[in-house]
Chain A
Amino acid sequence: MVTINKDAKLAADVLNVAEKSATRDGAGKGLLEAGGKNPNVVALAADLSESVRTHLFEQKFPERFFQVGVAEQNLAGVAAGLGMSGKTAFIGSFAAFSPGRNFDQIRVAVCYNNSDVKILGSHTGLTVGEDGATHQMMEDIAMMRVLPNMKVVVPSDSNEARKAVLAAANDYGPYYIRLTREKVPTYTTPDTPFEVGKAIELCEGKDIAIFGCGTVAYDCLKAAYELEKHGISASVYDFHTVKPIDKETIIRSARKTGLIMTVEEHQVAAGFGSAVCEVVSESHPCRVVRHGMYDSFGESGTSKDLLKKYKLDTAGIVGKALEAVKGKA
């Protein structure tokens, strides 16, 4: 029987959560709250304020909101200047453009300056859907996690996105917060503990440890119930922080199960799964199966159809986990 971690304070009847919300909505709420708490919080948009939900901040704090137009390089550069001058600057755009377009500014103006800039990168992963491959950013974790001074957080639902924004606002220095467009079940609660750099155990198991990064974490939890029917006991973690990576949880899981599977809506190369491999191979070698995009772009389609095709829905994750367990020596 799947045992839910009570300390995670997940939603009641967690398999049948009715409430749905997008992580970008949670982030928008968090930004609004952060703005209310701290007058030095400012926000900038690059012609996508409503899409990234920074318009909520704009409506409440117009004097602290700046619209740069379709100019992501300037977005990051101006924010860096603000962040060097006592402001906590949130910038929001589609991840395909920020950090997709403005990596140089993020590397030098934000990270090398160690400026207090928080990057909200929305519309990541396959769930962008119909807009297709150009807009389905799946290389951003790789780009951001290699930058010195940068922290990388990938919330798994709306509540967590709100907490991630509030945590970032309270922690000096560059952050990348990876967000999504699609409404997904809000399976955590306001009471679910959130700490940057600390993965949340959703359920405990002994045969395989599944680390979900982003909204796929919930599907990983649902997959655990399916795997149980196959006689497989899986532990599942909501691995919301890619950097700093939670080494302790990774090593403990490697010791316990000897088999780890990572799941992300991102290229398996250089993303979250690779970050896990780096820890495992250096500290406690065991097999790691990375699940995500296998060196390919996405395509147009509904979010649901895409997740199914690329095996990133519950059934796809179950299938991949079964293969992984079979391959376990």
Chain B
Amino acid sequence: MAVEKTMANHDMESRKPAGNSGLPDSAQNSTKERCKDPAKLASLAREVRKDILRMLVEAKSGHTAGPLGMVEVFTALYYACINHDPKNPQWDGRDRVILSNGHICPVHYAVLAEAGYFPREELLTLRKLGSRLQGHPHRGALPGIENSSGPLGQGLAQACGVALAARLDKKQFRTIALLSDGEHDEGSTWEAVMFAAKYKLDNLVAIVDRNFIQIDGDTETIMPLEPFADKYRAFGWNVIEIDGNDFTQIISAYEKARTVKGKPTVIIAKIIPGKGVKMFENNYKWHGKTPSADEAKAAIAEIDSK
């Protein structure tokens, strides 16, 4: 597939190789070289945020607030938490990351590329004809993508199935379901919440992007979810509430979840939607639109200034 514009057009080539910026070289990243240093992770997160903005500008459609908000969660997962091997995406022992709210895929794609699953240059093909980076992810299209997603309320059920299969086969991998708060409006999400508790899926951890926005407005206006944590507790889950933009809290919650037996764990990650760029932060209007080239330029400058 032709990549018509290279990353160089968007000032990405300039930071490769990443030696002096302290970035790990993609090709050498693997689970054997975990990075739990919050400063290094923050540096990675800045690069991921800039990649997301460049992708969105180039794609001219997509979602801004969700992907930017979840940068810390995805970066922490792939660099500090899960077992995986970017050079062997189908490695049987890998932890399975099931993204349910597929519309935030730019952050998933950007972190996968950063981690070495595919060339970073390819990020700019997002949403274009022939691209492996579909507007909503497609299983099998791109290394590292475990499931197709887009229609909300489907991911947790699939993650339950994956976790069940692991148990049947006595495999040790963990299944991580990434959910949005808005998709808890879907009854099907709660069907899966009940199921995971019934089958005591302690090899499953759900991480909810609790950013309090959805496309039509604030979650508590559109369809109130609170008391959100209490609902999960009442449904038989172990609940951990964290600041989802804080690496230390994400990593610690993930490790704590691993130790809980007999019930699934949900990490309710309070997220600032649009995190990292003041103009986008906490404003639902940035849920489903993309910045102009000028807005992105200013946003990238803002990220660089931090």
Contact = CB atoms under 8 A, between A and B. Distances in A.
B288 interface: no
Interface residues of A, number: 29
26 contacts: A64-B168, A66-B199, A71-B195, A73-B188, A74-B195, A76-B157, A77-B154, A77-B158, A77-B191, A78-B160, A78-B195, A79-B161, A80-B158, A81-B160, A81-B162, A81-B163, A82-B161, A82-B165, A84-B158, A85-B162, A86-B169, A87-B161, A87-B165, A109-B148, A109-B158, A112-B139
B162 A84 contact: yes
A68 B201 CA distance: 14
B140 A69 contact: no
A112 B157 CA distance: 15
Contacts of B191: 68-69, 71, 73-74, 77
B87 interface: no
Given A68-B191, A87-B168, A108 B162 contact: no
Interface of B: 96, 98, 138-140, 146-151, 153-154, 156-166, 168-169, 187-188, 191-192, 194-195, 199
A73 B193 CA distance: 12
A250 B44 CA distance: 60
Nearest to B188: A73
B151 A84 contact: no
Contacts of A87: 161, 165, 168
Given A42-B168, A71-B194, A82-B165, 16 more contacts: A74-B195, A77-B154, A77-B157, A77-B158, A77-B160, A78-B160, A78-B161, A78-B164, A78-B195, A81-B98, A81-B165, A85-B161, A85-B165, A87-B165, A87-B168, A108-B154
Nearest to B175: A81
Given A74-B191, A84-B147, A113-B147, A105 B160 contact: no
Interface of A: 42, 63-64, 66, 68-69, 71, 73-74, 76-87, 89, 104-105, 108-109, 112-114
Nearest to B165: A85
A73 B194 CA distance: 13
Given A73-B188, A78-B164, A78-B192, A108 B157 contact: no
Contacts, number: 105
Those 6 A-B pairs whose CB atoms lie nearest each other, nearest first: A81-B161, A77-B157, A85-B165, A74-B191, A81-B158, A71-B191
A191 to B, nearest CB: 35
Contacts of A86: 165, 169
A165 to B, nearest CB: 20
Given A80-B161, A109-B154, A85 B148 contact: no
Contacts of B199: 66
Contacts of B139: 84, 112-114
Contacts of A109: 147-148, 154, 157-158
B11 to A, nearest CB: 35
A185 B27 CA distance: 64
A108 B164 contact: no
Contact of B154 (A82, A89, A104): A104
A78 B169 CA distance: 16
Nearest to A87: B165
B157 A74 contact: yes
A113 B160 contact: no
